[in-house]
Amino acid sequence: MAAFQFHNLTPFAGKSTTIRRPREFTYFSFDDDHKLFPLSDASLSYYYPAFFHHASISPHRVNLSAGFESFRERDDGVDEHLDALLDTLQAHEERELERARDDAEERKLEDVRCKADVVTWRGMMTKILTAPFDDFNEFEMNATCFQGTIFVEENHQSKEAQRQSQNAQLPRPGQPPQELMQYWGYKFEALSTLPQPWPEATRESIESRDQTVVNNHAQYCSIVRTGIGTTSLIIAGEVDCVLGQKPDNIEDPVPWVELKTTAELQSNHPRELVKFERKLLKYWAQSFLLGVPLIVVGFRTPDGLLTGMQDLKTQRIPSEVKQGQRTWDGNVCINFTAAFLDTLKATVVGEGVWRIRPPDHSPSLIHFNLFNKSSKKSLRMKYSREQRSEMRKRDISTAQAHNTGLNSTQSSSTEDENSGPVFFWREYEQPHGFLCQWYPSPFLAPQVHPTHVFGCAEQYMMYRKALLLATPEPNDIDSANTTEDEEAEVDIG
């Protein structure tokens, strides 16, 4: 068992390490029924301030509890793993492959790969980034390494246990139920966004936002490439809305807006300011990781009345905290995360699933525990005779077109007349399950959907490996994957 200790934060002080500005390179949407649509921006929302003049609403007292009884709440108890992220990366690579085929310059197949040292959700990185200053930051993650890339997801069982424990707690006297307080945040989002850009919105749609049934099934999620220290990352996370519109040039920063609600400050007492600065730590970390430049905070009364708003520029928050109560230090967070990621890469290697968590009552220590070793098994996928014949013809022609060396003899030798192609994979002992090791043909994998496994990694990796069947796997992924104009030493506060 390996461990990452940070009892003393002094080694992480000073200017922050090299960081790479997050850049969106693909995205996906969940619709109103939480159905996934890779490469779709259908659920993208557009920012328009919550306060507006309307005969039935006071601009100073918006009730965030309105409509709670009709709230369409998504079941947060479903373990979604990394499925949406990996499915979208697969769709992105397929699209780039089609473009590469039509490219007059004949880009290499390797160019379409989504390369990174670490692939994960924004929420996982937020927990790491805030860990040095968040004593209440409980988390438990699973990590596995495949072909030089580490996939990290939240341990769902631990998350569910924490959620049930929180829901079981009785609210303090005079405090609204936890479910209602969570709803206030979604209501604020509904009051602050439009489903289309403002020039295309009608006056009725703007003024009737308070009547909209709040639904948290729909989401727009951005997938960015970024880097911290020597580690390259692909991170995905939900973004609330955009100010104006997304730029046409994908190299330009996107004017994202993050929406938050919090209790209004009762006074300028240092205790109140410290409490607010601790919230700012999470606000900053979430936005920093995806490159969100603006955070709009809605202040509310204890009973859920919206009384004011404040715009916060993400990059200025660490400096403002340093000039205030100095509750946390952004540079320490960045340097800490860079060191943690170095430990992650050095520890999570080879086969198996690693559990990452701080021990109970020891917030300054993170354990890496290999809790699952693997064993090899094989799986036979059944296809009809017509399906096998069609796939075989396509695979041979595609392979020959890309000089993979696959011929009809090789293809047929990997098939069983009764059961179809043979796939070899690794099966872990517990339900977080399987990672594909090898498969026979370069364009078979996208049609194969075996039982879902750890983060759906096998489905994505089967495709990725097939895509590069003719390309030797590099021994060393360019972890930085940056150019001089993308990379700089930045003092964030």
Residues 284, 402, single domain; the answer is: no
Residues 133, 204, single domain; the answer is: yes
Quick one: pLDDT at residue 393? 52
Residues 459, 349, single domain; the answer is: no
As a whole number, mean pLDDT of residues 162-190 equals: 86
Q: Domain for residue 156, yes or no?
A: yes
- At how many degrees (to 10) do helices 270-290 and 122-130 cross? 140
Residues 386, 366, single domain; the answer is: no
Q: Domain for residue 336, yes or no?
A: yes
The pTM assigned to this predicted structure is: 0.77
The pLDDT confidence band at residue 108, using thresholds 50, 70 and 90, is low
Residues 186, 331, single domain; the answer is: yes
Q: Domain for residue 486, yes or no?
A: no
Closest residue by Cα to residue 113 from 104, 102, 100, 103? 100
Rg (CA), the chain: 24
Residues 352, 386, single domain; the answer is: no
Quick one: pLDDT at residue 366? 83
Quick one: pLDDT at residue 465? 44
Residue 422 three-state SS: strand
Q: Domain for residue 493, yes or no?
A: no
How many whole angstroms separate alpha carbon 246 and alpha carbon 253?
Answer: 9
As a whole number, mean pLDDT of residues 258-270 equals: 91
Classify the C-alpha dihedral 469-473-479-482 as positive or negative: negative
Q: Domain for residue 474, yes or no?
A: no
Residues 256, 319, single domain; the answer is: yes
pLDDT digits (tens, 9 = 90+) for 94-103: 998 888 777 6
Q: Domain for residue 472, yes or no?
A: no
Residues 112, 165, single domain; the answer is: yes
Residues 91, 238, single domain; the answer is: yes
Per-residue tokens: 485: 């104009």
Q: Which of 347, 370, 393 is the last residue of a domain?
A: 370
Q: Which of 317, 343, 370 is the last residue of a domain?
A: 370
Q: Domain for residue 18, yes or no?
A: yes
How many whole angstroms separate alpha carbon 451 and alpha carbon 459?
Answer: 9
Residues 389, 328, single domain; the answer is: no
Interstrand relation of 149-154 and 118-121 (parallel, antiparallel or unpaired): parallel
Residues 358, 383, single domain; the answer is: no
Quick one: pLDDT at residue 339? 96
Q: Assess contact for 234 and 114: CB atoms under 8 A.
A: yes
How many whole angstroms separate alpha carbon 234 and alpha carbon 221?
Answer: 13
For residue 463, pLDDT beyond 50: no
- At how many degrees (to 10) do helices 330-347 and 270-290 cross? 50
How many whole angstroms separate alpha carbon 213 and alpha carbon 66?
Answer: 10
Residues 115, 164, single domain; the answer is: yes
Q: Which has more pLDDT, 382 or 399?
A: 399
Per-residue tokens: 15: 């200017």
Q: Domain for residue 390, yes or no?
A: yes
How many whole angstroms separate alpha carbon 310 and alpha carbon 412?
Answer: 65
Q: How many domains does the chain have?
A: 2
Q: Give residue for tokens 């690579």.
A: 93
Q: Which of 370, 396, 414 is the last residue of a domain?
A: 370
| Range of the structural domain that residue 402 is part of | 378-467
